[in-house]
């Protein structure tokens, strides 16, 4: 089945129309609370309150940072608003708040959308995922590095810091023109903002506010990005057999979250629809799924069942399932036994 010959998929186009008042509301109910809560965190430090008070406020602040990134993400797809100019301006500003260059990230994320689930085109804008055969052929240090990368505290706590603080400061390979300028513009604005905050409020206060917010918001974002393509049953195939439709519908999550978490995450857990129609803005995703029976798949992830995905490490091509390290070890040991 292909997108082109399936009528219900074509019918999803009606949800792609941006709604201006919804864009304005989302910007106000997301960015304003984010900046207000961050200001309040700085005030708690200035007032000499116990640091745990600051950390408590960091929890909702991190949630609003995550939601800010979702709006930024919509801009990268050109779906948040109708005007390309407005999308570029909003995306650039939100990108600074999220420490992410707009044009460069838009490019790498676009590659991810065109290659998700393709075993022959991994490596750009995705989570490092090895197959069982690749792991079996890898050397000791390569295996150790992969195990370290897939270790949950590394992936969900250290990962966001490395990604947002360090990797986003460097242009992706081959970047030039607008992509390159977006990196240097974002870096320049961030240097200026950090310098100003450091001189006026102190570098310690800056770190005490920014680090926990970035870790919490970043961890939530990495978790969503991870679970959206690391679940069972899922879809991975080699280039010749790979289908964009199957990668979207069966290799991207149908993640049913409680209403509050769905709002914070901009319904991005409905990732099967997002990959099928990336031009649908976040504020239309839930309604589109509710009104389209074909998208209400039987293998929906819930908050509880999604926790199991933390164990998934490698993709077994022969069985079409994810394996944890224990299952992977047994599978590799079985290969070494004499027939």
Residue 201 parent element (H or E): helix 178-201
Quick one: pLDDT band at residue 325, thresholds 50, 70, 90?
confident
Residue located via tokens 């390979």: 173
From the number of C-beta atoms within 10 Å of its C-beta (0-12, 13-18, 19+), residue 236 rates as: buried
Q: What is the pLDDT of residue 125?
A: 86
* CA distance linking residue 113 with residue 247, whole number of Å: 10
Contact in structure between 114 and 108 (CB atoms under 8 Å): no
Q: Which pLDDT score is estimated for 4?
A: 44
Q: What is the pTM of this model?
A: 0.94
Distance, in Å, from the CA atom of 137 to the CA atom of 186, rounded to the nearest integer, reads 40
Number of Cβ within 10 Å of residue 87's Cβ equals: 22
The yes-or-no verdict on residue 5 having pLDDT over 80 is: no
What is the Cα Rg of the chain in Å? 21
Q: What is the pLDDT of residue 338?
A: 58
Indicate the angle between helix axes 203-227 and 178-201, nearest 10 degrees.
140
Confidence of residue 7 (pLDDT cuts 50, 70, 90): confident
Half-sphere exposure in the Cβ direction for 253 (13 Å, CA): 22
- Band of pLDDT at residue 123, cut at 50, 70 and 90: confident
Residues 175 and 103 sit within 8 Å (Cβ to Cβ): no
Pairing state between β 130-131 and 314-316: parallel
Q: Where residue 2 falls among pLDDT bands split at 50, 70, 90?
A: very low
- pLDDT at residue 78 greater than cutoff 80: yes
Residue 102's pLDDT is what? 98
Model confidence at 39: pLDDT above 70: yes
């Amino acid at each position: 089945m292909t997108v082109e010959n399936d009528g219900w998929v074509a019918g999803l186009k009606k949800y792609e129309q941006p709604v201006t008042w919804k864009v304005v509301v989302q910007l106000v109910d997301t960015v304003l609370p984010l900046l207000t809560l961050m200001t309040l965190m700085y005030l708690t430090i200035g007032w000499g309150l116990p640091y745990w008070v600051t950390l408590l406020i960091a929890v909702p602040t991190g949630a609003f940072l995550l939601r800010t990134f979702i709006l930024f993400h919509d801009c990268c797809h050109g779906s948040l608003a109708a005007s390309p100019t407005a999308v570029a301006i909003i995306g650039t500003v939100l990108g600074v708040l999220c420490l992410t260059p707009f044009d460069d990230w838009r490019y790498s994320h676009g590659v991810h959308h065109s290659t998700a689930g393709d075993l022959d085109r991994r490596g750009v804008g995705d989570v490092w995922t090895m197959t069982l055969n690749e792991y079996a052929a890898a050397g000791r240090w390569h295996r150790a590095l992969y195990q370290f990368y897939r270790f949950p505290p590394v992936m969900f706590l250290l990962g966001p810091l490395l990604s947002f603080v360090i990797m986003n400061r460097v242009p992706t390979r081959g970047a030039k023109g607008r992509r390159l300028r977006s990196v240097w513009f974002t870096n320049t604005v961030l240097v200026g903002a950090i310098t100003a905050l450091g001189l006026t409020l102190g570098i310690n206060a800056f770190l005490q506010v920014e680090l926990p917010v970035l870790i919490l918001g970043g961890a939530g974002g990495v978790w969503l990005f991870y679970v959206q393509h690391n679940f069972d049953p899922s879809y991975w195939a080699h280039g010749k057999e790979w289908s964009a439709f199957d990668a979207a519908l069966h290799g991207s999550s149908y993640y049913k979250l409680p209403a509050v978490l769905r709002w914070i995450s901009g319904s991005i857990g409905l990732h099967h629809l997002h990959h099928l129609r990336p031009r649908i803005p976040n504020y239309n995703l839930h309604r589109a799924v509710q009104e389209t029976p074909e998208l209400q798949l039987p293998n929906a992830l819930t908050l509880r069942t999604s926790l199991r995905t933390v164990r998934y490490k490698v993709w077994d091509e022969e069985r079409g399932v994810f394996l944890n390290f224990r299952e992977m070890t047994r599978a590799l040991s079985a290969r070494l036994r004499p027939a």
